[in-house]
């Protein structure tokens, strides 16, 4: 059976998992870490860095280091979240050709799905190294609150990374799947997920028959650990300005160091009550004099600075329960997901709201990837014991006369689903209708997200209200939307799969996938070459170590001196090759000669 990996593509960290012998396991990266920072950088030499290695150089290369790309994925250029990101991050965010968002790293401009694809590709490589085989199928998770554009863009990222994304599932659903895995329980659980960039709350029914039904889901795609860090930074900036009269905001490097220090302090305060933030030489005053930033941050102060952010998550939880018509007492367990749920105040407020201690049995950083892998293995299994019933997080509909929004599929409808509504023409002799597909909760069309539009033409000329048109909305299991309109008289039909707004055209995705594949081939080749070089170095070292002994032993023999000079030649040739670089095939021959020489030396000495 084909392997499917589960990828939790996080704002801050990503995690990959696979089901082995029926048990989901998290796959560690080469450094042994179970999560990999979702950070991409390009060095001055044009080298691409991903994960921990990208994180380590972020301070000195802030302009060319992308963090939290997930906050930008599937967004339109003019959205407020993009404006916030431009102010918040050091890398260059620019407008793309489809009013989408692009990121400039050195001379090259990348789409956001391309950046996410680099992270996905890294996760694919981590899995392939571990499994020792190529992996092409994946289930990727996204926040439940992601709209259609963001889901499409996530799928595009998978395609660009060379992955066949067999399903995009909601993070809380994945978490519940991992939580309920192997347990025969009937339970209504709340999944509270506060990560680096997003907040999600989902209420799910786990049935002992293996049915997982999402009852309700809500969240904020722009509320997470990054905002906590920003609060600490603002506080540090204000304090520094008051003490020294210097605004550090102008200095990219200082800002990056400040951001790192703020995050570090935040994490430390989950375990201690007080921490010191110490940034020597944060800025030079230009008079040969440097200023240092030093201050104490207490847990109480952190809680004061971020109390309203936690409150926002609590309000969203209370609203969701309300909307679902549920009481706190109905919730039988609370699962915490996301790094930010390690903050004691978050745990305290959640426990207070739900009137129970959250479940301790799941690992907040790994549970989502594990769930994705479980779902992946089920999708390829012949018979699956678990059924996932997800819901659409937003209402879908079209714009009607007067600029109003007419819902077709209400939020929290179980997907896949399909709905049809009949509309009539609104003007005499109207021969065409424009269908604006929207997603959101406002009565006013303009306040909702425009997913796409198309025109149905060739309608019969008739007085208004006479021509009937059926509009059908379909949402597939990935939560991706297709809309069609049909003239009931002529049977003429127009439809769209809402794809254009992911920010990329099909051709662009194809080209990006091609160049990402080329990169991968090149990188693998580079790694092979590096391995060969290392082996050559080791062999040369060993041969040279044995050389004096071997010379001693063979000195008197007939062919001894010739063999020694041949061996020296082999070593010399290999050294030159290492110094100047040679094609792969030649390196292979050099390695063979080195191995032969070493074997011969060992034989002489035994
Ligand atoms: P995630 O997106 O789930 O990987 O969550 C990452 C977020 O969790 C980042 O904002 C981290 O700074 C934050 N985080 C990680 N560990 C801790 C901790 N021990 N205490 C508080 N926040 C943490």
Between 434 and 231, whose confidence is greater?
231
Q: How far is the CA of 488 from the centre of ligand 1 (A)?
A: 54
Atom number of ligand 1 nearest to Cα 225: 10
Domain 396-498 in the same topology as domain 4-224+308-389 = no
Atom number of ligand 1 nearest to Cα 10: 2
Please tell me the residue having the least CA distance from ligand 1 atom 8.
Answer: 339
CATH architecture of residue range(s) 225-307: Alpha-Beta Complex (3.90)
Atom number of ligand 1 nearest to Cα 226: 10
Q: How far is the CA of 267 from the centre of ligand 1 (A)?
A: 7
* Distance from C-alpha of 502 to C-alpha of 147, rounded to nearest angstrom: 10
Q: How far is the CA of 96 from the centre of ligand 1 (A)?
A: 31
Q: Assign 500 a pLDDT band (cuts: 50, 70, 90).
A: very low
- The binding-site residues of ligand 1, defined as CB within 6 angstroms of any ligand atom, are 10-13, 195-196, 225, 263, 266-267, 270, 338-340, 342-343, 365
Give the CA distances from residue 586 to residues 255, 536, 599, in Å, rounded to whole numbers and listed in that order: 48, 12, 20
Q: How far is the CA of 364 from the centre of ligand 1 (A)?
A: 10
pLDDT digits (tens, 9 = 90+) for 117-168: 999 999 999 999 999 999 999 999 998 878 888 988 999 999 999 999 999 9
Residue extents of the structural domains in the chain: 4-224+308-389, 225-307, 396-498, 506-605
Fold classification of 396-498 (topology level): Substrate Binding Domain Of DNAk; Chain A, domain 1 (2.60.34)
Q: How far is the CA of 16 from the centre of ligand 1 (A)?
A: 17
* Distance from C-alpha of 92 to C-alpha of 61, rounded to nearest angstrom: 12
> Beta strands 199-206 and 187-194: pairing type?
antiparallel
Please tell me the residue having the least CA distance from ligand 1 atom 3.
Answer: 338
The stretch 290-314 carries a mean pLDDT of 96
> Beta strands 92-95 and 396-400: pairing type?
unpaired
Burial category of 461 from C-beta neighbours within 10 Å (exposed 0-12, middle 13-18, buried 19 and up): exposed
pLDDT digits (tens, 9 = 90+) for 360-417: 788 999 999 999 999 999 888 866 666 666 778 789 999 998 899 999 999 888 888 9
Render 124-190 in DSSP notation, one character per residue.
Answer: HHHHHHHHTS---EEEEEE-TT--HHHHHHHHHHHHHTT-EEEEEEEHHHHHHHHHHTT----EEEE
Residues 6+ positions from 580 with CB-CB distance below 8 Å: none
- CATH for 4-224+308-389, among 1.10.10.10, 3.30.420.40, 3.40.190.10, 3.30.980.20? 3.30.420.40
**The model's pTM:** 0.79
pLDDT digits (tens, 9 = 90+) for 519-559: 989 888 888 999 999 999 999 999 999 999 999 988 888 88
Atom number of ligand 1 nearest to Cα 197: 2
User: Residues with catalytic annotation?
Assistant: 8, 70, 171, 193
- Kindly calculate the radius of gyration of the chain based on its CA atoms and give it in whole angstroms: 29
Pocket residue to mutate for ligand 1, from 340, 341, 350, 366, most atoms within 8 A of Cβ = 340
């Amino acid at each position: 059976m084909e392997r499917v990996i589960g990828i939790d593509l996080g704002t801050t960290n990503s995690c990959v998992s696979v089901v082995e012998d029926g048990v989901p396991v998290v796959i560690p990266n080469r450094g042994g870490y179970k999560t990999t920072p979702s950070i991409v950088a390009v060095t001055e030499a044009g080298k691409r860095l991903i994960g921990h290695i990208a994180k380590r150089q972020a301070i000195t290369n802030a302009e060319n280091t992308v963090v939290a790309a997930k906050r930008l994925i599937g967004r339109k250029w003019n959205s407020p979240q993009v404006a916030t990101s431009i102010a918040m991050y050091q890398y260059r965010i620019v407008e793309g050709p489809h009013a989408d968002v692009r990121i400039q790293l050195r001379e090259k401009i990348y789409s956001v799905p391309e950046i996410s694809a680099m992270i996905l590709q890294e996760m694919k490589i981590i899995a392939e190294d571990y499994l020792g085989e190529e992996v092409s199928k994946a289930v990727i998770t996204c926040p439940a609150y992601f709209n259609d554009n963001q889901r499409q863009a996530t799928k595009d990222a998978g395609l660009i990374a060379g992955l066949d994304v067999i399903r995009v599932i909601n993070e809380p659903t994945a978490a519940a799947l991992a939580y309920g895995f192997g347990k025969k329980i009937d339970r209504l659980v709340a999944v509270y997920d506060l990560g680096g960039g997003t907040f999600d709350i989902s209420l799910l029914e786990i049935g002992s028959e293996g049915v997982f039904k999402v009852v309700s889901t809500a969240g904020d795609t722009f509320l997470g650990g990054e905002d906590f860090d920003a609060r600490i930074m603002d506080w540090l900036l204000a304090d520094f300005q008051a003490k020294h009269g210097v605004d550090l905001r102008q200095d990219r490097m200082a800002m990056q160091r400040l951001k790192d220090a703020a995050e570090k302090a935040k994490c430390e305060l989950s375990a201690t009550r007080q921490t010191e933030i110490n940034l020597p030489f944060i800025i030079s005053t230009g008079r040969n004099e440097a200023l240092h930033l030093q201050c104490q941050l207490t847990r109480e102060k952190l809680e004061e600075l971020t109390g309203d952010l936690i409150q926002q998550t609590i309000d969203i939880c209370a609203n969701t329960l309300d909307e679902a018509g549920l009481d706190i007492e109905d919730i039988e367990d609370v699962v915490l997901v996301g790094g930010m749920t390690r903050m004691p105040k978050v745990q305290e407020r959640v426990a207070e709201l739900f009137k129970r201690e959250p479940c301790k049995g799941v690992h907040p950083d790994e549970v989502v990837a594990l769930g994705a892998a479980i779902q992946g293995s089920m999708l390829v299994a012949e018979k699956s014991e678990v059924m996932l019933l997800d819901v659409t997080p937003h209402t879908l509909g079209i714009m009607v006369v007067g600029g109003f929004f007419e819902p077709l599929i209400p939020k929290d409808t179980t997907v896949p689903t399909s709905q049809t509504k009949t509309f009539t023409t609104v003007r005499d002799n109207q021969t065409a209708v424009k269908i604006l597909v929207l997603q959101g909760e406002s009565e006013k069309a303009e306040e909702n997200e425009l997913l796409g539009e198309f025109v149905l033409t060739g309608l019969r000329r008739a007085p208004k209200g006479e021509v009937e048109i059926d509009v059908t909305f379909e949402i597939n299991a990935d939560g991706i939307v297709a809309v069609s309109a049909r003239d009931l008289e002529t049977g003429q039909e127009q439809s769209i799969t809402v794809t254009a707004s992911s920010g990329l055209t099909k051709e662009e995705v194809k080209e990006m996938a091609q160049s990402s594949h080329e990169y991968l081939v090149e990188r693998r080749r580079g790694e092979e070459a590096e391995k060969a070089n290392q082996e050559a170095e080791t062999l040369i070292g060993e041969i040279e170590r044995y050389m004096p002994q071997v010379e001693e032993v063979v000195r008197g023999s007939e062919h001894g001196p010739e063999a020694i000079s041949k061996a020296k030649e082999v070593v010399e040739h290999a050294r030159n090759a290492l110094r100047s670089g040679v094609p792969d095939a030649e390196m292979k021959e050099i390695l063979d000669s080195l191995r032969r020489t070493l074997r011969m030396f060992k034989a002489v000495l035994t």
